[in-house]
C-alpha cells in the first residue's frame, strides 16, 4: 500500500473509531510504515500515530467506553487512573498493537497540547519534540492553512530551527579537520541531517538493546527529500553558513557564529554561552559541543527509560512481549 493510500485509510478509520470531536488539536503519523526505510520494507510494519488533544482525561473517558480492548488491565481501574499514568514522566500514553483495519495494525500515543508545547519549546523530555525533528505526515487538521496560522506551528518551526543549529554545532566539531581551532568547517548536508536525526536517539538505552542499530542512517537515507524540504528554509536563512553546492556547506565557526547558534537553542541550553564566556573568553566550539551532547544524551536517556517503564504498564504483559519481540527482530536484522 502506498504512503498516500495508507494515510487516507488511517484518517478515515481513525475518525470512525474515535470520538475526537472538539478535543483533537493535531494528529500525525510517522515511522517506517509511513516513510519506508531501506532494508526495512516489511509491508506489515505498524503505523505510529500521535493524538494531540486539549483534554487527555476526556479522551480516555470516552475511549474506554468506545474502545476498552485497546487498554491493558489498567483500563479497568477507570479513566482517572489511566489519566494519572498519562501524566507521569514524558506525559505520553501509548496503546499498541491495535487493529485498525484488515492487515493494518497501529500504535497510538496521546499527549496533551500543553505538554507537547512545553517539550517543543524547552526540550525537557525531547520526546515528541525529537520525533518532530524528522518528517511526519500531518493528518489533522486536514486544512494545512489552519496549522500554518496557529501558535502551535510557530513552536513546531522553533523546534526545527533549534534542531538545525544544535546539529550544525555538533557536526562542525565532529568533522572539523583534526579538531583544530579553525574559524570555519566544511560539512556535507548529510552530516547535519544525520546529526539532527540522532539528537533524540543518542542516549536512548534502546539503541543499546532492542532497536535497529542503523536506525538513524536509515531514516536519513529513506527520508532524504522530505528531510531536505523540512530544513531548506533554515539552510537558506542561516547567516553563518555558505552553501558551496547542493550538498556541501561552509560553516562559520567564529565566536559570533557560535553565540548565535547557542541563542537559537531552548533556553536551558543557552547557559552554555555564559559557562564559556567569562571575562574576555569567547565561546569555544569544543566545549559547547561537548556540553550540548552531554545534556542531550542525559535528557534522552532519562526519557527513554521512564517512558519504556511506563509503556510496560500501559501495554500489559502480552502486548509488551510481542512489541519487544518485533523490536528485537528489527535489531537482529540490522546487524546482519
Give residue-wise pLDDT tens across range 14-28. Answer: 889 999 988 999 999
Distances (CA, A) of 335 to 31, 46, 114, 212: 20, 21, 39, 8
Share of the chain above pLDDT 70, in %: 84
Mean pLDDT, residues 80-108 = 91
Confidence band for 41, pLDDT divided at 50, 70 and 90: low
| pLDDT given for residue 316 in this prediction | 76
Does residue 233 register a pLDDT over 60? yes
**Between 101 and 234, whose confidence is greater?**
234
For residue 247, give the C-alpha cell.
550538498
| pLDDT tier at 142, thresholds 50, 70, 90 | confident
SS3 139: strand
Task: Tell me how far apart the alpha carbons of residues 167 and 165 are, in angstroms, rounded to a whole number.
Answer: 5
Q: What is the pLDDT of residue 53?
A: 97
Q: Which of 19-28, 164-173, 202-211 has the highest mean pLDDT?
A: 164-173
Q: What is the pLDDT of residue 328?
A: 47
Q: What is the mean pLDDT of the chain?
A: 86
- Cα–Cα nearest to 267, from 160, 121, 130, 157: 121
| Per-residue model confidence as pLDDT tens digits over 290-317 | 999 999 999 999 999 999 889 888 987 6
Nearby residues of 282 by Cβ (< 8 Å), 6 or more positions away: 255, 258, 276
Does the structure show a pLDDT above 50 at 334? no
| Nearest partner of 133 among 171, 160, 104, judged by Cα | 160
Residue 61's nearest CA partner among 20, 28, 16 is 20
| Strand-by-strand arrangement of the 241-243 sheet | 184-188, 248-252, 241-243
From 39-43, 207-211, 228-232, 332-336, the region with the lowest mean pLDDT = 332-336
What confidence tens digit (pLDDT) does each residue in 53-93 have? 999 999 999 999 999 999 999 999 999 999 999 999 899 99
- Identify the pLDDT of residue 332: 47
Using a 10 angstrom Cβ sphere, with 0-12 exposed, 13-18 middle and 19 or more buried, the burial of residue 239 is: exposed
| pLDDT of 151 higher than 60 | yes
CB 162 within 8 A of CB 234: no
When mean pLDDT is compared over 94-108, 140-154, 232-246, the highest value belongs to: 232-246
**Beta-sheet pairing, 47-53 with 104-112:** parallel
Banded model confidence at residue 2, pLDDT cuts 50, 70, 90: low
Q: What is the pLDDT of residue 172?
A: 94
**Is residue 221 within 8 Å of 160, Cβ to Cβ?**
no
Q: Report in angstroms the alpha-carbon separations of 248 from 71, 109, 285.
A: 49, 38, 20
For 236-291, the pLDDT digits (tens) are 999 999 988 888 999 999 999 999 999 999 999 988 765 554 545 677 899 999 99
**Cα–Cα distance, 197 to 113 (Å, whole number):** 23
Please give the pLDDT value at position 281: 63
Amino acid at each position: 500500500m502506498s504512503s498516500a493510500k495508507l494515510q487516507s485509510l488511517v484518517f478515515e478509520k481513525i475518525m470512525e473509531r474515535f470520538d475526537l470531536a472538539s478535543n483533537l488539536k493535531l494528529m500525525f503519523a510517522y515511522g517506517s510504515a509511513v516513510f519506508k526505510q531501506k532494508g526495512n520494507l516489511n509491508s506489515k510494519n505498524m503505523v505510529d500515530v500521535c493524538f494531540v488533544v486539549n483534554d487527555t482525561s476526556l479522551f480516555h473517558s470516552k475511549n474506554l467506553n468506545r474502545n476498552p480492548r485497546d487498554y491493558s488491565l489498567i483500563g479497568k481501574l477507570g479513566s482517572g487512573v489511566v489519566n494519572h499514568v498519562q501524566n507521569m514522566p514524558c506525559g505520553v500514553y501509548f496503546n499498541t498493537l491495535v487493529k485498525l483495519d484488515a492487515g493494518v495494525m497501529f500504535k497510538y500515543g496521546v499527549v496533551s497540547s500543553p505538554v507537547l508545547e512545553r517539550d517543543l519549546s524547552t526540550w525537557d523530555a525531547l520526546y515528541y519534540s525529537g520525533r518532530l525533528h524528522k518528517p511526519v505526515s500531518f493528518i489533522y487538521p486536514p486544512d494545512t492553512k489552519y496549522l500554518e496560522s496557529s501558535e502551535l506551528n510557530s513552536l513546531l518551526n522553533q523546534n526545527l530551527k533549534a534542531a538545525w543549529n544544535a546539529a550544525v554545532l555538533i557536526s562542525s566539531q565532529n568533522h572539523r579537520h583534526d579538531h583544530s581551532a579553525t574559524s570555519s568547517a566544511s560539512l556535507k548536508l548529510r552530516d547535519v541531517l544525520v546529526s539532527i536525526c540522532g539528537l533524540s536517539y543518542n542516549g536512548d538505552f534502546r539503541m543499546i538493546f532492542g532497536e535497529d542499530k542503523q536506525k538513524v542512517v536509515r531514516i536519513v537515507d529513506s527520508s532524504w527529500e522530505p528531510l531536505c524540504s523540512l530544513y531548506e528554509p533554515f539552510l537558506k536563512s542561516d547567516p553563518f553558513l555558505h552553501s558551496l553546492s547542493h550538498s556541501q556547506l561552509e560553516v562559520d565557526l567564529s565566536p559570533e557564529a557560535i553565540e548565535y547558534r547557542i541563542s537559537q537553542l531552548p533556553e536551558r541550553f543557552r547557559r552554555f554561552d555564559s559557562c564559556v564566556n567569562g571575562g574576555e573568553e569567547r565561546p569555544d566550539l569544543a566545549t559547547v559541543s561537548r556540553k550540548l551532547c552531554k545534556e542531550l544524551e542525559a535528557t534522552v536517556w532519562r526519557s527513554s527509560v521512564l517512558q519504556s517503564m511506563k509503556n510496560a504498564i500501559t501495554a500489559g504483559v502480552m502486548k509488551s512481549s510481542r512489541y519487544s519481540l518485533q523490536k528485537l527482530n528489527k535489531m537482529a536484522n540490522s546487524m546482519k
